[in-house]
Every structure is written in structure tokens, then in C-alpha cells.
Amino acid sequence: MAADIDPSDTDIFTILHTTRAMRRLKPDPVPDELIHKILRAGIAAANGGNIQRWRFLVVKDPEIKKAVQVHYKRAFDEIIGPRYASSAPPPGSNAEKYHRQHAAVEYLTDHFHEAPVWIVACQVDGDAPPNRTSGASIYPAVQNMLLAARALGLGATLTTRHLLFEKESEAALGLPDGVHSYAIVPIGWPMGRFGPVGRGALGEFVYQDRWGEPLPGI
């Protein structure tokens, strides 16, 4: 089915199947009205109890972005880069595609601060300490924003790498006590074209009733 997708089609299922991580972004400005549309899509997402603890920091200041990029690149050099270099291609990919992905990741690492707009997805601390449910009310908002960016012809990706040096990155972002970032979404006009996402076959990931039992009909 993926081969038949028209990336210019704005049908919701086409958007879902062509929202790739766009890591090569032009430094050209993005109109504020488009960023506002993306943010409105974000706060339309479901969140626990409709408490809306999310907060979104829009970063355009090049000095702030450069300060965060220092820690972002350090995380690549010390952790992410070696991990990629020793990893096998994931399902739905191959060595050539995985090499291109590596190159795109490295490009984003070096040019992260040049993306014209960042949306830093944050959440205000609740009464309980963070746990496995903590992202349940912020990541749906991030996904909505990624889909909205794709529908508007903008490139974006979800990255959490700055959290490998969380304290340093959040200090560079100027986040106050009680507020933590869960993702940074760099946004800009893409250098490449949208196309089908690379994923493994459904049967590799889905079971029915018992773990390891295949779902019939796929």
C-alpha cells in the first residue's frame, strides 16, 4: 500500500503514512501563522483528565539554540553516534537506507541550531514524581504537531536527545523549577521530499490474545 501513497495528498491516512522524520531543514523563516496552527493542533490532543499540564516554548533565538546544540552534539558524539554505528538496520529498512538515516541524523546534529523554529514540549510537574505514565499527556500533543506540520508542507521531527544532558539543556532553555522538557521539535521547510515511512510488516509487531500468537489476516 505504501508504494501507492501520493505524498501531496492531505487525506489523514496519507498524512499518517508519509510523516517521516525530516532532519534536513532549510534555515528559511517559517510564518508565525503556520506555527500557530501547529500549536493549536498540539493542544487539541487528548490528555489525562483534561488537566492540560503541557506548556510549549517556541524558540527562535539563535543564541539559545546554539547553547542547547552544544549538549545535543555532545550526546551524539559520546552516545548516539557510536550506538548507531554498531546497530543493525531496523525492520523495514536495509543497510543502504540505514546509512542514509545515519547521515540525516548527523546532519541534524550539526545543524540543529539552524532550524528556524523549535517547539519545546514541556510539562508542569504534578503532585506525584514522574513515572511511566508521565509522557502520556504530552506525546500525543507532539504527534499532533508533527502531523500538522506535515499537512502544512513543513518538515519536523521529534527528538529527545537533549535529555541525555537534561540539566544542562533545560538550563540553557531557561526552564523554571517544576517544568521539564519532554521533546524538542525542530521545524522548517524540508530539503527533501515527503514519502512513505519505512516500517516492518504488521505481523512483526502485532499479536492476538497471547504474546507471540499472530493476528489472523495480516
Answer yes or no: is 200 within a domain.
no
pLDDT digits over 187-212, tens only? 999 998 998 888 889 999 999 999 99
CATH for 121: 3.40.109.10
More confident residue, 126 or 215: 215
210 in a domain, yes or no? no
Query: With 50 as the cut, is the pLDDT of residue 1 above it?
Result: no
Domain assignment present for 15: yes
- Model confidence pLDDT, tens digit, residues 48-101: 899 999 999 999 999 999 999 999 999 999 998 888 777 888 787 787 877 788
Number of H helices, E strands in the chain: 7, 4
Number of domains in the chain: 1
* Separation of alpha carbons 77 and 95, rounded Å: 21
Residue 201 counted as domain residue: no
In a domain, residue 186? The reply is: yes
| pLDDT of res. 5 | 54
pLDDT cut 90: percent of the chain above it: 74
Cβ-based burial of 182 (10 A; exposed 0-12, middle 13-18, buried ≥19): buried
Domain that holds residue 86: 2-195
Report if residue 99 sits inside a domain. yes
pLDDT digits (tens, 9 = 90+) for 8-47: 678 999 999 999 999 999 999 999 999 999 999 999 999 9
